[in-house]
Amino acid sequence: MLTKRQKQVLDFITEYSRKNGISPTIDEIRKHFRLNSVATIHQHLESLRSKGYLDRLKNKTRSLSLPKKRSVSDLISKSSRSGFALVPLLGSANAGPATFFAEENIEAYQKVPRTIVRKQSGIFAVRVDGDSMNKASIDGNNLEDGDLAIIDSEYKSPKSGDYVLAVRDGLANLKKFLRDQKTGDVILISESSNPKHKPIKVSSEDDFMINGRIIGVVKR
């Protein structure tokens, strides 16, 4: 994974190098991110180096060197050719009572097999929080606490039986989508070994939307 801060550091180094023809110094990176110590910067740089985003030359003030494939978009392309996609992780979604606010803030980037992700646009991951979907089966994998659910956000018109990321009153839930054939009402179903999780009937007063369909699971 590439964390959000690591991506910010990489983006700063890339843009600085593009504008100035040389890499920034450690102290220039520290000042840009308004940090008092360089220790944290050193940690991020070492992580970027170990993940293949950055080279470091010894005994030089401006020791940072960007490999040929240096940006996140480059890595996405490279991962795609090697049978993987790089998917943004946007936080957690409850697979139980709706208690997590669905903020689309990238925490990291997750490597996902192309057998799950067949396109790049509109795909993201959320972390499962809870046990209300631990009996749901997505291509043979259950949605258990701590797993990553892979979401196709361009899928906005689900059919009965689809597993979806639903946002109700600003709160995110992973559920099974059902529509009552007689009334047209939407019901969000938990599939769990825990009997406390009950169906949620969506009313006309709810602020409700489907934020995508679950297309796969990455086990923790």
Q: Which of 23, 47, 175, 176 is catalytic?
A: 175
C-alpha–C-alpha distance, residues 84 and 115, integer Å: 8
Q: Which of 23, 47, 79, 132 is catalytic?
A: 132
132 is catalytic: yes
- Measuring CA to CA, which residue among 215, 1, 198, 193 is closest to residue 106? 1
Residue 5 backbone dihedrals phi, psi, to 5 degrees: -65, -40
C-alpha–C-alpha distance, residues 47 and 41, integer Å: 10
175 is catalytic: yes
Residue 208, judged by CB atoms within 10 A of its CB (0-12, 13-18, 19+), counts as middle
Q: Which residues contact 55 (CB under 8 A, 6 or more apart)?
A: 49, 64, 65, 66, 67
Query: What residues act catalytically?
Result: 132, 175
